[in-house]
Structure 1
């Protein structure tokens, strides 16, 4: 693959680097998110990507931050997911490195929303953007660690690819 830029993912950030102090770790992870999505704006294929701020969680933190660092079905009861937090630098990196042959990109529809899915198989990491009028919204990002979820994503990707190359 000459001429194709090989992706080198950013370093993970671990809680033990902060003396296993969750408060310090959480603050550092949030500051990285804030730097990547609030104080500067990334773009996906030339279109800006925003992070949803409201409703603020605990009156302080962007809603999107919780979606990419916490897990759980009930919005107000999400719990920290250390694998997501460790990869806080991945969403912007992936967004800004599209297109790249190491990133699988496809669209799907959820309700009335058109979503852009960006997946790196080696890292097993997925970023989901939602199309808005004139911009994208970072919806979520996470490690795909369940086989059935991976299989579902690959089935959806292959169907999208087949439908768009016919």
Structure 2
């Protein structure tokens, strides 16, 4: 199975965001087969904005401050990749690899599709993983992520 096609913007933002939200619900939120290490993937819904959950807006936008994030069309286009990459993440040297890292008291799973720099962050919880974000890493960040992954796996 190949990586899904990019879901390109077609000029009508209102329709596009509704279509993206349907993809999000169908492939992430409502797909009970979406698991990592046999634990389900969950998302944050609150606070809701325009009838759509927090996790959705976080995945399709970028910025340091939550209330000042901007829509990122590269993130939007790659929303269909989230499901595929989680399902196909393996130990390196797989093209889609994963590793754990710590940020403060939180343990994260980082999933990297090295061919295109697509990154997914899951937060480890007791009986599930919380989908935190997904983005395309810039070259410097990608280099740092590969280094972190290789250190984790002893490569």
TM over 0.5: yes
What is the CA–CA distance in structure 2 between the aligned matches of 1:43 and 1:72, rounded to whole Å?
A: 28
TM-fit CA distance, 1:57: 2.6
Larger-Rg structure: 1
Residue from 93, 106, 109 that aligns with 1:113: 106
TM-fit CA distance, 1:73: 0.8
Structure 1 pair 98–104 and aligned structure 2 pair: CA distance change class (3 A): closer
Structure 1 pair 98–147 and aligned structure 2 pair: CA distance change class (3 A): closer
- 1:106-148: per-residue Cα shift (whole Å, max 9, x none)? 110011110000101112101110000111000110111x221
- 1:12 and 2:16 are equivalent in the alignment: no
Q: Report what 1:4 is aligned to.
A: none
What is the CA–CA distance in structure 1 between the aligned matches of 2:89 and 2:39, rounded to whole Å?
A: 12
Q: Report what 1:136 is aligned to.
A: 129
What is the CA–CA distance in structure 2 between the aligned matches of 1:37 and 1:120, rounded to whole Å?
A: 18
- 1:149 and 2:146 are equivalent in the alignment: no
What is the CA–CA distance in structure 2 between the aligned matches of 1:15 and 1:121, rounded to whole Å?
A: 24
Q: How does 1:1-166 map to 2 (within 5 A)?
A: 8-16=2-10, 20-41=11-32, 42-58=34-50, 60-99=51-90, 101-144=94-137, 146-162=138-154
How many residue pairs are counted as aligned between the two chains? 152
- 1:54-74: per-residue Cα shift (whole Å, max 9, x none)? 12234x211111121101111
**SS at 1:139's partner residue?**
strand
What is the CA–CA distance in structure 1 between the aligned matches of 2:89 and 2:151, rounded to whole Å?
A: 20
What is the CA–CA distance in structure 2 between the aligned matches of 1:104 and 1:13, rounded to whole Å?
A: 23
What value does the CA root-mean-square deviation take over the aligned residues?
1.5
Please, which runs of 5 or more residues in structure 1 have no aligned partner? 1-6
Please, which runs of 5 or more residues in structure 2 have no aligned partner? none
Runs of 4 or more above 6 Å deviation? none
What is the CA–CA distance in structure 1 between the aligned matches of 2:90 and 2:40, rounded to whole Å?
A: 15
